[in-house]
A and B are shown apart, each in its own frame.
Chain A
Amino acid sequence: MRRMLSAVAKPFSETTGLARWMLVAGVLITAVFLIAAIFAPWLAPYGFAQSSAHGVEFPKVGHPSSAHPFGTDRLFFDVLSRVIWGARTALEVVILSILFCVVLGVPLGLLSGFYGGPLDRVLVLIMDALYAFPPLLLAIVVSFLLTDVYGGSVIAVSISLTVVYIPQYFRVVRNTTLSAKEATYIEAARAIGARDIRIMRKYLFGNVVHSVPVLGTLNAADAILTLAGLGFLGLGIQSTAAAEWGHDVSRALADAGSGVWWTGLYPGLAIVLLVTGLTLVGEGLNETLNPTLRRRRLLAVVMPPRDRTPVQEVQR
């Protein structure tokens, strides 16, 4: 437990100045959104697709007021509620797509790195091809294909993001497997007669999987932008299925000409803040973990009390 705590605290305790402040700010911002996502039903004044309360219809594109601090949009929805519920949608999509990436990418990377040969070559080629694609374009194509199946749902968008990010997970796991399988403990495991499956499950998996959380954090910011981009283009989640910031901004764009700012400003700011928070965390981690950039804080060195005996007397 202590070791885990000190490992978590390492980026904080070993950085100084700016890097540390950026990391702290990033963690705080991300935490706020996490809380909003988890407690959305209690924090949000209304539902994300609710257009009336207590028998009173909400105003259409209503100016911010005490009943609706962020105003209402042209579908009569409360903007504040949609911003809060949007955090939950973002969290759901990011977690689902990371889960898909891990469930598919890690085993594929393990197999590919462990066995090598034609399987490895084919998988590497496919993943490289996916990686070469512009991410948004790939996400657009996948959600275009999924419209008839899961159109406009959280699942569909998560699958689109999975296709975009899976090559990275595959690559990291494959490359770590490649170097890990040469280690002595694998040779020892083989010598005592362990089968391939067992070696991969018991010996390799644990040593290979630790890079996944870092990758997940780094990709989360990008994933949220892709999610919002899909939503903006109308290929993401539909307004009534869940609250999604990108789609809300796209509906607000029509209002910009008529002097309505609140429908676009708040969901947009939510995206900017969350992505900034996640990026700050990522950059902060990078500056502490990447040895070419790292500048460790100089810890105070306690010198033993100086004893003034033999040397000085000899000198005299």
Chain B
Amino acid sequence: MSRAGSGSLPRYILQRVLLVIPMIWVILTLVFFILRVAPGDPVSAALGGKISPQALEQRRQALGFNRPLIAQYWDYLSSVAHLDFGTTFSDNQPVLRVITDNGGATLYLTVAAFVLALVVGIPLGLIAGRYRDSAPDVVFRLFGILTYAAPVFFVGFLLQFYVAEPLGLPTSGDASPITIFEVPTKTHILLVDALLSGNGAAVQDVLKHLVLPATTLGLLICGVFIRLVRVNMLQTMQADYVEAAEARGLTAGKVTWRHGFRNALVPVITVVGLQFALLLSGAILTEETFNWPGIGQKLLYYINNRDYGAVQGIVTFFALAVVLISLLIDIVNALIDPRVRY
């Protein structure tokens, strides 16, 4: 009786959700205090020299910087709870607006990269793991290590130099000005907007701009997939049930497919979730390399303007996203693999 109770899915999900709440609180506290212990005054750092001292004092009042730290902390927590990530100091915009305006570009870039990485990485990893120490194993592993070892911006540099020019692919931005002008903004995801508008030339233009950045970012994650899938496959092929299947006289192909590949892929789902952090780091670098108008580039823009408000808001958003996605992955994992629930 009690076994069934402790292993039930709703109970597991509830447990995980309850555990996430203190985690979020700790992360938010960390973000707040790390950004507030910084020496100097954030408001004058962002606006100093641009407006008069009186106006500066007014802004400081309006942003609540004259209130005690604990009150500011409470304000911060309660506004995040209402999904309000504050306002930027330098151009006085709600951070949530900044995120929705620029997040779309980051979103479809990362999704495209992720799909590319899955399509290339998983088969290569499976083959390398199945035929250990064979020629494909050596080649795919080296490929995996190289794609991990090559910094995103260096791959971007090579692609810009050796691929973009011969093929005539664009290396900067997410679309040409005419496309941006013609496609009406509905979802803030340019690719979707272009598809919705039914403008064939615009879609083509957006896809052309997407090729190199998505390849760059995709290669980075693909290396990780090759390594992980390979190791999983190695471990799976040594498992008792694989030996048992071989002993029953199944053909090598059947053993590999039905007993090897399938089981080797289960842990990949967990890993897919963990790659989100890597994907985000890679996206920031890719956006900077290809001048891609996403949230990472916006963050760098605000960092260069010393805008603490914007940095705090965007970092808070990223932190929340990371925690929530890992929660989601845990739940999906529990759905697929009953062992996780115990």
Contacts and interface: CB of A to CB of B under 8 A. Distances in A.
- Please say whether chains A and B are actual partners in one complex: yes
B323 A132 contact: yes
A132 B157 contact: no
A17 B231 CA distance: 17
- Main SS of the interface on chain B? helix
Given A132-B23, A137-B281, A261 B149 contact: no
A279 B154 CA distance: 18
A140 to B, nearest CB: 7
Contacts of A103: none
Interface stretch (A108-116, A170-178, A221-229): A221-229
Contacts of B35: 141, 145
A252 B145 CA distance: 24
B151 A228 contact: yes
A221 B151 CA distance: 11
Interface in A64-121: none
- Main SS of the interface on chain A? helix
Interface in B107-135: 133
B231 A293 contact: yes
Contacts of A147: 306
B23 A129 contact: yes
A313 interface: no
A17 to B, nearest CB: 6
A261 B323 CA distance: 41
B137 interface: yes
A141 B311 contact: yes
A134 B318 contact: yes
B157 A18 contact: no
Nearest to A145: B38
Contacts, number: 142
B151 A268 contact: yes
Nearest to B156: A253
Q: How large is the interface on A (under 10, 10 to 19, 20 to 34, 35 or more residues)?
A: 35 or more
A232 interface: yes
Q: How large is the interface on B (under 10, 10 to 19, 20 to 34, 35 or more residues)?
A: 35 or more
Interface in A272-316: 272-273, 275-276, 279-280, 283, 292-293
Interface in A245-268: 246, 249-250, 252-253, 256-257, 261, 264-265, 268
Contacts of B157: 249, 252-253, 256, 264-265, 268
Interface string A136-153: 110011101101110000
Contacts of A271: 149-151, 154
Contacts of B300: 140, 233
B322 A229 contact: no
Contact of A249 (B39, B154, B319): B154
Nearest to A278: B149
Nearest to B303: A144
Nearest to A228: B151
A233 B283 CA distance: 12
A47 interface: no
Interface string B126-170: 000000010001100000011011111110111011000000000
Closest 3 CB pairs of A and B: A136-B281, A268-B154, A275-B149
Interface of A: 17-18, 125-126, 128-130, 132-137, 140-142, 144-145, 147-149, 221, 225, 228-229, 232-235, 246, 249-250, 252-253, 256-257, 261, 264-265, 268, 271-273, 275-276, 279-280, 283, 292-293
23 contacts: A125-B22, A128-B26, A132-B319, A136-B281, A140-B300, A141-B315, A144-B303, A148-B39, A149-B39, A221-B149, A232-B288, A233-B288, A250-B153, A264-B154, A264-B161, A265-B157, A268-B151, A268-B158, A271-B150, A272-B151, A276-B145, A276-B146, A280-B145
